Amino acid sequence: MARTTPHDHPPAEEEPLYRRIATRLIGELRDGRIPPGERLPGERRLAEHFGVSRETVRQALELLRRDGLVATDRRGSHATLPGLSVETPASLAFPVGATAATPGTVARATVTWEPPPPDHAEALGLAPGRPTLVHNYRYATTDGRGLRTAVTSFSAVALAEVEELGRYRDRADGTATAHLRRAYDWMRRAGLTLHHRDAITRLASTRSVRVTRQVHDQYARPLEITDLVVDAQQDALVYEFTLPGRAD
């Protein structure tokens, strides 16, 4: 007899509730809201998310474990659907233009709690002078060539809904290193669909270009804005977009 998995059958009222929850969870795994290898929320949070009991969630997770779609170890339960590991740099990296440090280069990233640049405040819907979390990124070769800098400001919505970002407020003194490489993953895990808009302009009388990225969620609420300045003669800008595949 062929082995079946939750996604072999469409949800139906006569199906057990735990199987329907397992099917819904598979959908969230497939559309990227929970990236492969990412730790799943705990049973209590999943129960609140789906509006069911923890026992129902526990049965759904056990079903997915048997089918090899979820694995559990000492760190908790993790998605195992095929795809890029969360350790793989995201196609939409944060901040825009960030790159891993290599020999002969210097990369520095810090966060502060301060009023953002005026154009950032306007884009994020913040009142003039109102402070927010601001991320500063600098990358350069040791001889000063290949310089790129990025300033990112986060909206009140992002800080309120993304727990990991909110934690930085009390330690945003501009001195400690703060590489927020997982920022976009954190936003997606919080249930936000990210819409990116990148605009590239040349800076007058220089050989540099500015890339401005604005990110909104599915409700058109601004989440963050980044201004990246790079040496156009030293760098090539490559953008890759990965869209979730359509489930059959």
- pLDDT given for residue 76 in this prediction: 65
Pairing mode, strands 173-177 and 195-202: unpaired
Output the CA torsion sign for 39, 92, 149, 237: positive
pLDDT in tens, 119-150: 999 999 999 999 999 999 988 777 666 678 89
Mind listing the pLDDT tens digit for each residue in 178-187?
778 778 888 8
Write out the H or E segment, with its range, that includes residue 54. helix 54-66
**What is the model's pTM?**
0.59
pLDDT at 89: 37
Residues in the chain where the model's pLDDT stays below 70: 1-14, 29-38, 68, 73-76, 78-93, 97-105, 143-146, 232-248
Burial status of residue 87 (CB atoms within 10 A of its CB: 0-12, 13-18, 19 or more): exposed
What pLDDT is attached to residue 197? 87
Which pLDDT value is given to residue 129?
93
The pLDDT assigned to 135 comes to 93
Closest CA to 69 of 41, 27, 33: 27
- How high is the pLDDT of residue 82? 47
